[in-house]
């Protein structure tokens, strides 16, 4: 997964909590209860990231998750009708997410975790299908991995040494 450093201070980021889980650690004196929060942040203009925060209290876990998500922002290649540039399968762990390009007016056809990522990234037309594991954390991370690996026709043409018309034909 390619990582480009994005200056988050210049972006208007919104965040959404995907899931909050109570986790326990058994120690000599009993059980330690904590909460983990999976948070996705995006600017609605081609930047999105996900983060995991863990703390004794829920608001603190959400804050930590948001900070982690801001550190993991990625850029997404989109076309003129706010869809992705080509079909792709994003993979993370045992989870795969099929991302399909969609024409104008389709909307976001996606399950819960993938829908949140697409909405915050600013994608308006896309079809997705979660394959393999449906663990929310892995689905979010595989969606982001797939979106971050998308290439624009210009990038592909430059890499192959051809014109954009030859690539699109």
**Same domain (yes/no): 54, 95:** no
Domain contains 2 = no
Mean pLDDT in residue range 83-91: 94
Mean pLDDT of 59-78: 95
How would you list the strands of the sheet with 95-101, edge to edge? 88-92, 95-101, 126-132, 108-109
CATH number at residue 148: 3.30.230.10
Q: Identify whether 1 is part of a domain.
A: no
The pTM of this model reads: 0.90
Q: How confident is the model at residue 12 (pLDDT cuts 50, 70, 90)?
A: confident
Q: Let me know whether 81 and 164 are in one domain.
A: yes
| 74, 102, 129 - which closes a domain | 74
Give the CA radius of gyration of the chain.
18
Q: In this structure, are 20 and 81 located in the same domain?
A: no
Q: Give the structural domain span for 153.
A: 77-168
CATH number of the domain to which 33 belongs: 3.30.160.20
Closest CA to 18 of 120, 88, 95: 120
Position 5 confidence tier, pLDDT thresholds 50, 70, 90: low
First to last CA, the chain: 28
Residues 109-138 pLDDT 10s: 999 899 999 999 999 999 999 999 999 999
Same-domain status, 69 and 97 = no
pLDDT of residue 80 exceeding 60: yes
Residue 48 and residue 72 in contact, taking contact as beta carbons nearer than 8 Å = no
pLDDT score at 6 = 73
Domain identity same for 136 and 121: yes
- Same domain for 95 and 122, yes or no, is yes
Q: Is residue 157 part of a domain?
A: yes
Boundary of a domain, candidates 48, 74, 100? 74
pLDDT for position 85 = 92
Please give, one letter per residue, the 3-state secondary structure of the chain. CCCCCCCHHHCCCEEEEEEEEEEEEEECCEEEEEEEEEEEEECCCCEEEEEEEEECCHHHHHHHHHHHHHHCCEECCECCCCCECCCEEEEECCEEEEEEECCCCCCEECCHHHHHHHHHHCCCCEEEEEEECCCHHHHHHHHHHHHHCCCCHHHHHHHHCCCHHHHHC
Show which of 59, 74, 89 is a domain's final residue.
74
Task: Identify whether residues 64 and 105 lie together within a single domain.
Answer: no
- What was the pLDDT predicted at 10? 76
| Total number of domains in the chain | 2
**What would the mean pLDDT of 24-35 be, rounded to a whole number?**
94
pLDDT of residue 47: 94
């Amino acid at each position: 997964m390619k990582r480009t450093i994005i200056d988050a201070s210049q972006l208007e980021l919104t965040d959404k909590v995907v899931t909050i889980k109570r986790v326990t650690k058994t120690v000599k004196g009993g059980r330690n209860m904590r909460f983990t929060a999976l948070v996705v942040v995006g600017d609605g203009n081609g930047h999105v990231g996900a983060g995991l925060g863990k703390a004794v209290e829920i608001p603190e876990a959400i804050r930590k998750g948001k900070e982690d998500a801001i550190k993991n922002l990625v850029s997404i290649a989109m076309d003129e009708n706010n869809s992705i540039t080509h079909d792709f399968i994003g993979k993370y762990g045992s989870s795969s997410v099929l991302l399909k390009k969609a024409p104008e007016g389709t909307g976001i056809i996606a399950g819960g975790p993938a829908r949140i990522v697409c909405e915050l990234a600013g994608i308006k037309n896309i079809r997705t299908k979660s394959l393999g594991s449906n663990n929310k954390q892995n689905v979010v991370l595989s969606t982001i991995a797939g979106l971050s690996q998308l290439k624009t026709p210009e990038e592909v043409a430059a890499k192959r040494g051809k014109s954009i018309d030859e690539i699109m034909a």
